[in-house]
Structure 1
Amino acid sequence: MRVLVIGSGGREHALAWKIAQSPLVDALYVAPGNGGTETVATNLPIDITDHAAVIAAARENAIDFVVVGPDAQVVAGLGDDVRAAGIACFCPSRAAGQLEGSKSFTKALCDEFDIPTAAYGRFEDEAAALEYLYAQGAPIVIKADGLAAGKGVVVATSVEEAEAAIIDCFSGTFGASGAAVVIEEFMEGEEVSLFVLTDGEAILPLTTAQDHKRAFDGDTGPNTGGMGAYSPAPVMTEALYRDAMARIIEPTVRGMAQRGTPYAGVLYAGLMLTADGPKLVEYNARFGDPECQVMMLRMESDIVPLLHAVATGSLGRHTVSWKPAYALTVIMAAKGYPGHYEKGSEIKGADSLDSADLVVFHAGTKHDRARLLATGGRVLNVTALGTTVKEAQDRAYRGVDAIVWPEGFCRRDIGWREIAREGL
């Protein structure tokens, strides 16, 4: 099988790294890829927003199977166009991708199928949104309705902070994604991510993870696309898992099929573990980033048959197995991220660290002859295995400390909640 992975981030490097290990794969390409993907695949420097160019490249390279990574391409309907060209594709349809592309779409689905989630209001007018805010008070959550690269969410602890977030959305900070705003009640609890594969009917549970969205230690600073993660998340007990599957995941898959927009892909549920049980925070219509990195390092099964079964509607006969270990990833980002940051700084020492227990996945990098340069905000994902979260954390930070990059920074407390529970 000849496979093409779409994307250029850490998620796509992790997917390519895992796909490259499959004996089913004869050739692997990544478009456009990064400095890490070129070590396991052939990078194709094409514009992935140009669907005709993607299809042309797939035909030119005799691609049998396309795996779409980024949310923007899911929402833009790349999967629909690739399938229309007669090429198998792992990617939800544009219609199904609204689960991530529109928060109000997902809220309406929750209303229709009695899926537990936060109470909310949706507004296309700033004055109406502010009126709702003043009636509700704080703490409260303000979300741009569309995609915002993980940054269009403000958990406001004061009315003034929420007011500023609403004005920011309607001022055009997030473009069309902020043309509508969803205001949600603040849910008390601990957040956890649950991943499943589904072909629209069959559901194959994958695993759990916990992400760290805030930029700085102690969960402080602005929201980011993710500064680190670990998997699995023991806080998601078997009882909580069964509850989430029965009341959230299964009704969603059934509901999407009943609506005539069956969901086929990876379904990533962000859940809040409240005193009343798990509640849906939001859905993502793709593998998480950085959750994908820890998942791929833990997965024992060949991922290619699983992804292909989703794309071809034959998932029901498949299972998945995992290494009996924890995985933890630390994001090394350019100083200034998620705000303004400089590109082009040199990174030393990252290319020689990979081992059986540690892999450095690249997100925003490129090679310039012998030099590795930073080209993005989130740049490297130092990912390690361990028998405990603490052991995986220690191993990951030893990797971080072996990398010489003065222009970068990272959080030093990834996994802190579970390590506190481990008593280490």
Structure 2
Amino acid sequence: MNFLFVSIDGLIGDLAWRVRNEGHDVRYCIENEDEREITDGFVEKVVDWEEHTEWADTVVFDDVFGQGTHAEELRAEGVAVVGGTAYTDRLEEDRNFGQRELKDAGIDVLPHKEFTDFDAAVEWIRENPDAYVIKPSGNVQNVKRLVFVGEEDDGSDVIRILKSYQRSWGDKIERFEIQRRADGVEVAVGAFFNGEEFVGPVCINFEHKRLFPGNVGPSTGEMGTSMTWTGKNDIYRRTLEPLESTLADEGYVGYMDLNCIVNHDGVYPLEFTPRFGYPTIFLMEEAMETPISRVFADIARGDDPGIEVSAGFQVGVRVCLPPFPFTDPQTFSEFASNAPIGFESKPPSEWTERHLLENAPEGVHIEDVKCTNDQWRVAGTSGVVMTVTGMGETMVEAREVAYRRVDDVLLPNMYYRDDIGERWVEGEGDKLHTWGYLRD
């Protein structure tokens, strides 16, 4: 089949590469000129994706911020598309709207309030003291380090951060949400949707957003993920299942994820991700026994691909370079740009473009990588290089495999978290089982 992949910032390159390696013809468009060299040498690249929609049997979009509208328009023309709609784009971009939709569907949500004025938010917290979380909405929500989780029961630390944001980000943060903090296990639940219903097993995953081990430091997009697959468990029934009819009315096609706080009192969704999560989708690729190309082709046509997955657990570790998670072109130029990537298990005699493209080390999922002159190199501008995954019957085994593979990577100045998956082992898994939320 012919697959056309469309990305804003080059996030979906590993998927395009995997589909190509499954024997299909692939074309890949990255709209951001600064990121266009990502996956050079891995797949065929095109500049204007709209010129190739007639060629494509299936079109796959990777992000929101307007792509849902494009997907919706193509779908109306009879094109088989994996992608969102204007409505599902808004679920992620407008946090307050997403919370309203959850509440309207009969799903429990935490108390929250949206603001467009910092002074008004400060005054409201003083009148309603509690522990809160700050969540910017709109485009600026992609700056993940702006999400702040308060610790003080009177909200005084949140007030201090709001005043700081007012000085430094006041012209960029147009809307933000103040949400009451809840203690418990942070867990995400997701599944594929084929335009009519959720299909396949349910993905239970645990994001690790802070930069340093122990959940310390600035928030990033993601430093790693651990996950497992289940049947349609209690978390699914309390969150995704009530949304099924709405998503069917929209004709949504793709992966739908809800990040939640879970405790003995209930399940409280925090935010939507109506698209692939990164690096969650790489762990899903690793665990799927059904080819990812068949999953995309079938759900784009309203079919059930009968997704089969490996039992057990998966762990994904993000390998990064400076200046991630910050933006600093000079630092990127000095420490990351065009840096060569090697593997201890691959001797120089095997360093040919053909060999590595077809026989990459196990568990290596490329992100900002290109291949030039038989050499993998760092591409793009972010410093997010790759995700290395591992699987096992237990979370401990999956961690051991993943970190053994990370040790195989040769990349000067790289860094990563060494505690991905520990939260499950140290008690979060036991809590979820004790509370009954993973029961099928």
Alignment TM class, shorter chain as reference: 0.7 to 0.9
The one of 177, 182, 185 equivalent to 1:187 is: 182
Q: Matches of residues 24-423 of structure 1 in structure 2 within 5 Å?
A: 25=24, 27-32=25-30, 37-38=39-40, 40-44=42-46, 46=47, 53-59=48-54, 62-74=55-67, 77-83=69-75, 87-147=79-139, 148-149=141-142, 151=144, 152-158=146-152, 159-167=155-163, 173=169, 178-204=173-199, 205-232=201-228, 242-256=233-247, 261-312=250-301, 314-315=302-303, 317-341=304-328, 342-344=331-333, 345=336, 346-350=339-343, 358-369=362-373, 370=375, 372-375=377-380, 376-421=382-427
Deviations 1:239-258 (A, max 9, x none): xx53323222122222455x
CA apart distance, 1:172: 7.4
8 A Cα contact 2:283 2:314, kept in partner: yes
> Structure 1 residues 371 and 17, CA, compared in 2 at 3 Å: closer, same or farther?
closer
8 A Cα contact 2:317 2:389, kept in partner: yes
Aligned length: 401
> Structure 1 residues 364 and 9, CA, compared in 2 at 3 Å: closer, same or farther?
farther
Is 2:7 aligned against 1:7? yes
One-letter code of the match for 1:130?
V
Q: Secondary structure at the match of 2:12?
A: helix
CA apart distance, 1:165: 4.0
One-letter code of the match for 2:309?
W
Instruction: State the distance in 2 between where 1:164 and 1:85 align.
Output: 51
Q: Secondary structure at the match of 1:187?
A: coil
CA apart distance, 1:357: 8.2
One-letter code of the match for 2:275?
R
One-letter code of the match for 1:298?
A
Instruction: State the distance in 1 between where 2:120 and 2:57 align.
Output: 50
> Structure 1 residues 150 and 194, CA, compared in 2 at 3 Å: closer, same or farther?
farther
One-letter code of the match for 1:363?
E
CA apart distance, 1:22: 4.2
CA apart distance, 1:68: 0.8
8 A Cα contact 2:188 2:259, kept in partner: yes
Q: Secondary structure at the match of 1:130?
A: helix
8 A Cα contact 2:206 2:225, kept in partner: yes
One-letter code of the match for 1:188?
D
Instruction: State the distance in 1 between where 2:361 and 2:266 align.
Output: 35
CA apart distance, 1:107: 1.1
* Identical pairs, percent: 24
> Structure 1 residues 174 and 337, CA, compared in 2 at 3 Å: closer, same or farther?
farther
Deviations 1:367-404 (A, max 9, x none): 44335125323221112222322222222222222323
Instruction: State the distance in 1 between where 2:273 and 2:401 align.
Output: 29
CA apart distance, 1:114: 1.9
8 A Cα contact 2:187 2:259, kept in partner: yes
Instruction: State the distance in 1 between where 2:206 and 2:170 align.
Output: 26
Counterpart of 2:437 in structure 1 is none
8 A Cα contact 1:361 1:382, kept in partner: yes
> Structure 1 residues 400 and 35, CA, compared in 2 at 3 Å: closer, same or farther?
farther
Q: Secondary structure at the match of 1:337?
A: coil
8 A Cα contact 1:230 1:327, kept in partner: yes
> Structure 1 residues 8 and 55, CA, compared in 2 at 3 Å: closer, same or farther?
closer
8 A Cα contact 2:344 2:410, kept in partner: no
Instruction: State the distance in 2 between where 1:37 and 1:411 align.
Output: 25
CA apart distance, 1:122: 0.9
> Structure 1 residues 251 and 167, CA, compared in 2 at 3 Å: closer, same or farther?
farther
Instruction: State the distance in 1 between where 2:77 and 2:164 align.
Output: 40
Q: Secondary structure at the match of 2:419?
A: coil
Deviations 1:13-67 (A, max 9, x none): 34224433546x3x012223877745653233x3xxxxxx3211444xx122111
Q: Secondary structure at the match of 2:396?
A: helix
Instruction: State the distance in 2 between where 1:351 and 1:406 align.
Output: 13
CA apart distance, 1:215: 0.6
Query: Normalised by the size of structure 1, how large is the TM-score?
Result: 0.84
Instruction: State the distance in 2 between where 1:263 and 1:319 align.
Output: 18
Deviations 1:219-272 (A, max 9, x none): 011111100112217xxx87xx53323222122222455xx6453321111121
> Structure 1 residues 4 and 256, CA, compared in 2 at 3 Å: closer, same or farther?
closer
8 A Cα contact 1:11 1:363, kept in partner: yes
Q: Secondary structure at the match of 2:388?
A: strand
Q: Secondary structure at the match of 1:408?
A: coil
Q: Give the root-mean-square deviation of aligned CA atoms.
A: 3.0
